[in-house]
Amino acid sequence: QVQLVESGGGLVQPGGSLRLSCAASGSIFGISTMGWYRQAPGGRRDLVAEITTIGRTNYANSVKGRFTISRDNAKNTVYLQMNDLKPEDTGVYYCNCDLLRGRYWGQGTQVTVSS
């Protein structure tokens, strides 16, 4: 069994910052890429950022220069630092991790950017 627990979401004004965290636990031997996806109301779940075990990163064009993904391999935790937030960043943010047997998802955390 795999558990992914996200935290750090909330309501923030445009231009503000938030830091999301996601801790993986359970049967996670061989964990590789970890990442964050975002699902806006009525929309699909799209990649925000992902990071490999050696720190190689990939970002959606819309967040480049504003968001930074990082991870602590010893803690099996991935972070997403979000700066200069915009209303279009609003959505449910889902953490995921890739294992040899497949991809696992967290329950999601709501981020709302509004004045």
DSSP state of 84: S
Q: pLDDT of 89-113, one tens digit each?
A: 999 999 999 998 899 999 999 999 9
Give the chain's mean pLDDT.
96
Longest dimension (CA), the chain: 43
Cα 11–Cα 17–Cα 21 angle in degrees, nearest 5? 85
The answer, yes or no, to whether residue 41 has pLDDT greater than 90, is: no
Return the SS3 of 99.
strand
Mean pLDDT of 42-60: 96
Burial class, 39, CB count within 10 angstroms (exposed 0-12 / middle 13-18 / buried 19+): middle
DSSP H or E stretch at residue 68: strand 67-72
The answer, yes or no, to whether residue 28 has pLDDT greater than 90, is: no
